[in-house]
A and B are shown apart, each in its own frame.
Chain A
């Protein structure tokens, strides 16, 4: 390989013994994803490009399902739509047996469109319109009530339509972690949750089907789930004994972390976060301890999103330019920025070059293509020296990016999925100006370029 010219730079000496081979790097280029070359993907679909691995999606689901189902007799996953609601992704999970967990009317419609039967859709979230609730009630979906106003809203609806809503309440509680997530649902400790349950049952107009909690996100403690199980189980027991309403399920929500590294965390994510198995062990052991699973077996529902999809997503990007900053730091500008990688606000994403490189590495800032100061992918990352036109793979980008991405300055790129046989499928086309302007309306007096 012809060596590429690098402009000379004075670099601070780092510790470590000298040897005749110079400083070595442990980096490996990532040239292929599931056997498909990165180069060919960018050639065919352009750069930047989101790539999803169907094989990883399925494997993640099966690993998680196995972790729970070999420890508790009745387990159901419900795919968290907000994590990634590209239809192709949702359908992979539905094929694997997942229900749908949605938090808005349009997500609800998406779930229906993906062929999920009404009773297998869980409708969460603090804001649901009358129309959305009525549809959900008619379809027999599981409505998780977030606050008293929604409870009253639903009661009013029952006066208008004959179907009996199937409901649960979302419960928030102190599980020993900071911050306490108390903005969603009814609080356990102050008795609000119990009040809501009594109200639902005594109204006689709704079927109380289960209990829901979602104690946080990117949870790094399994013990918090033990606490949550204890408190939910206490409510379930009181529902059964005091309200004579045995519950069909306990929904422990999600919150399991992926192996991404949180910004500012000392250890890399692969070392710091507990595995799904550890969460499964904590939750099911606590359930078993409380006597569930033998005679009384409410379904255990899990709404995991991130842990199932994050490492199945890759963002491919191309180097636009490199430069030196005023303080001598190296900066690399990529064609993908925070407009696509929303999660870079809180993760230090791992970024790998997609082609062979020199041994030498250097700390560098990675910027996106936006003409905005916020567009920083990594403040500092130790990477080999990259040149214009080089390609990089940004790892573990499957969760939240393809839902929280912005159409800001740049349009959203193609998204492809590599199936289990190694075939690539375009699952979302790059946006066009036409698509972008399609909903726009120009008032009549602005139709002419000159003011009359």
Chain B
């Protein structure tokens, strides 16, 4: 009650989160449940636990009033060093008035050091790790000897007494029972090492933490086990001095190195896992070497080897010239699983969105007569180009006798701008060849070079003489008429040459660059949708035709609100924009976020955060990716970032092996069809499904229909194995 008067609700909320996150952060997490468990385990040694909590509180309150970035402080990033410091001090020193005073000062010091180090190291994209903790605890250890009010404690020797004081008989029994449990030394050693991260040496604590870790992240636990095994193996092999291998070093140095580099700062992969075979022994050598130095001042090395190994490794990875196969975590989601799955999702689905959107420079269906690295003329510096012609059902490019350019289907067909551009260069005076002619002097013939962006140009060649409709410097929109296809230059029969280039000249070398969206049609007439790909030779390609009513239905402007209703739930969604211009739906009732992109041709979701019971989540799964075209037969497939619907045990197994192999992928499919008999006329229906692909077998685990009518989303229906829901949209 008094707290309430002293601190405002918002402040209590802020401090609670800061403290909880500090606990979670010790294991690279930000999950509150997990944090509560860590906090509980820290109280297995009540004095230690209390000192840790107090130190964190002091740091949190100070941080609040000092006015650091609220979000950063709340994440626990500034305060977990103070927590470690508190745990350390609580372990080493007797409680007294002086102790609390020193704890308070040292906590503030740890906070300031944290802030300073985060700022400095952050500029090089490096984490501050527990450096602030090490420095501040060293300061305490070195200075405390001079204060009479502070004394070392002998509590740790009689730790059973303290257990009794906190948990009574039951806790003692539990602890004793686990201590007496017959288990190999290697296993008990592992649990003790885990507990050592909280300055304990206690199998029960280690077990509890391990279970919590398993629930939080399978990958993190497996990496800890790996780190532990490598360290033990290395010591055996080297016949090393066993004294340096205390549980504390095993836990904080070797096992955490393995987690940090195996799956936290680096996207988990076979490579990152294998690297822990090297980084763990290196930190072992560092432990010994640094201890040789610090023990002269009577200082433990704490987690310094961990910090050095991790920081150096991350720094060095950033010095690589090419990206390399080990990827530094681009956005930290505080869970190796999340990092991996979201990274895969972004790599496969989102990064391609950064390509400039180029469309095919013509109307209707054309055929690629010569693709990249073609055998005829696409060679050397000019190998990444495309030649297009029009073919008939028999695959011929001409009708009639085929002896005049006019006989060729593509001759004098409109050539369009593939994207918005400025006309950079024009050549419009080269005579068209007779069929079979070949003008090697002006080999490009009549040509237009368009500038789309700095360093991104496209070139269209062999145009008809005098047909160019634009002038140098003109601004042209995507799809504007530029000229007509001709037969000028090195062109024995009419065709259109198209290339992307980085420089503005007619003779520029080519640049491989994908086209954004296009359709292909195979011999059987089946149409398929392609995105961010270069068409290959002999493919029949055409531009995607969007449907104005679908464009209207999925045009969600910021501030747009929609009420959705199922028979059980009712939600309101609002469209918002982040500071990075990302658009997202925010569900008011469930405080959930679904990020989406609508580029005028495709609507798709990129990320979802929040409650998975919400209708927004159902919509996110159902409308994962939709092509805004009603051309019959366009089916698209995509993948969800992870198998969201599977059985939990199966998902745990998947998490364990995910860095090496994805056991099952959850595929998304969608197709747009005209509304059937039961729907209102003129409506369009997206049929989408989530399909689990496991060892070559497919299983439909969710089907959905999204009904669009009169330029609005009317409703969507979702059917899973267990239930069928109809959700009505109103706006």
- Measured CB to CB, the residues of A under 8 A from B are 58-59, 62-63, 66, 68-75, 97, 117-120, 138-141, 163, 166, 248, 281, 284, 288, 293-295
Contact = CB atoms under 8 A, between A and B. Distances in A.
A66 B365 contact: yes
Contacts of A166: 682
B674 A120 contact: yes
Given A59-B393, A62-B393, A66-B390, A73 B681 contact: no
B479 interface: yes
Interface string B60-98: 000000000000000000000000000000000000000
Contacts of A284: 414
Interface of B: 362-366, 390, 392-393, 399, 409-410, 412-414, 477-481, 542-543, 545, 548, 632, 674-675, 680-682
Select the residue from A63, A119, A141 with max chain B CB neighbours within 10 A.
Answer: A119
A71 B481 contact: no
Contacts of B363: 69-73, 293
Contacts, number: 72
A141 B543 contact: no
Contacts of B543: 73
A66 to B, nearest CB: 6
A74 B362 contact: no
Contacts of B542: 69
B694 to A, nearest CB: 37
Nearest to A136: B681
A251 to B, nearest CB: 17
In the complex, the 7 A-B pairs of residues with the closest C-beta atoms, listed nearest first: A140-B681, A70-B364, A69-B364, A140-B682, A119-B682, A118-B681, A294-B479
B365 A73 contact: no
A147 to B, nearest CB: 25
Contacts of A75: 364
B481 A288 contact: yes
Given A63-B392, A294-B481, A295-B477, 18 more contacts: A62-B392, A66-B364, A66-B390, A66-B392, A66-B409, A70-B362, A70-B365, A70-B413, A71-B363, A71-B413, A73-B545, A97-B632, A117-B681, A118-B681, A120-B674, A138-B681, A140-B680, A293-B481
B498 to A, nearest CB: 15
Given A73-B479, A295-B477, A141 B681 contact: yes
A21 B480 CA distance: 62
A312 B33 CA distance: 75
B728 to A, nearest CB: 18
Contacts of B365: 66, 69-70
B481 A163 contact: no
B364 A163 contact: no
Select the residue from A70, A163, A293 with max chain B CB neighbours within 10 A.
Answer: A70
Nearest to A119: B682
B364 A139 contact: no
A73 B547 CA distance: 12
Nearest to A298: B548
Contacts of B681: 117-119, 138-141, 163
Contacts of A141: 681
Contacts of B413: 70-71
B392 A294 contact: no
A394 B640 CA distance: 61
Contacts of B414: 70-71, 284, 288
A282 to B, nearest CB: 13
A202 to B, nearest CB: 20
Contacts of B393: 58-59, 62
Contacts of A295: 477, 479
A96 to B, nearest CB: 9
Contacts of A69: 363-365, 542
A63 B392 CA distance: 7
Contact of A70 (B390, B478, B481, B548): B390
30 contacts: A58-B393, A59-B393, A63-B392, A68-B364, A69-B542, A70-B362, A70-B364, A70-B365, A70-B390, A70-B410, A70-B413, A70-B414, A71-B364, A71-B413, A72-B363, A117-B674, A117-B675, A117-B681, A118-B681, A118-B682, A119-B674, A119-B681, A119-B682, A138-B681, A139-B681, A140-B680, A141-B681, A293-B363, A294-B478, A295-B479
Select the residue from B393, B413, B674 with max chain A CB neighbours within 10 A.
Answer: B393
Select the residue from A58, A117, A295 with max chain B CB neighbours within 10 A.
Answer: A117
Nearest to B417: A294
B682 A293 contact: no
Select the residue from B410, B414, B481, B680 with max chain A CB neighbours within 10 A.
Answer: B414
Contacts of B545: 73-74
B409 A70 contact: yes
Contacts of B364: 66, 68-71, 75
B366 A70 contact: yes
A293 B479 contact: yes
B680 to A, nearest CB: 7
Contacts of B409: 66, 70
A71 B399 CA distance: 17
Contacts of A59: 392-393
Select the residue from A74, A140, A166 with max chain B CB neighbours within 10 A.
Answer: A140
A284 B365 CA distance: 16
Contacts of A293: 363, 479, 481
A295 B481 CA distance: 11
Nearest to A68: B364
A259 to B, nearest CB: 14
B413 to A, nearest CB: 5
Nearest to A59: B393
Contacts of B632: 97
A66 B396 CA distance: 13
A393 to B, nearest CB: 24
Contacts of A120: 674
A157 B410 CA distance: 49
A137 to B, nearest CB: 9
A97 B633 CA distance: 11
A63 B399 CA distance: 10
B705 to A, nearest CB: 16
Nearest to B391: A66
A117 B674 CA distance: 8
Contacts of A117: 674-675, 681
A16 B116 CA distance: 110
Nearest to B366: A70
A108 to B, nearest CB: 14
Nearest to A73: B363
Contacts of B480: 294
Contacts of A72: 363
Nearest to B674: A117
Nearest to A58: B393
Contacts of A248: 548
A90 B545 CA distance: 25
A66 B542 CA distance: 11
B390 A294 contact: no
A139 B675 CA distance: 11
A115 to B, nearest CB: 11
A166 B710 CA distance: 12
Contacts of B478: 294
A306 B681 CA distance: 30
Nearest to B481: A288
B216 to A, nearest CB: 52
Nearest to A117: B674
A75 B543 CA distance: 13
Contacts of B674: 117, 119-120
Contacts of B548: 248
A257 B680 CA distance: 38
A163 B393 CA distance: 42
A240 to B, nearest CB: 13
B600 to A, nearest CB: 12
A74 B363 CA distance: 9
Select the residue from A63, A66, A163, A293 with max chain B CB neighbours within 10 A.
Answer: A66
Nearest to B400: A275
Contacts of A294: 477-481
A28 to B, nearest CB: 19
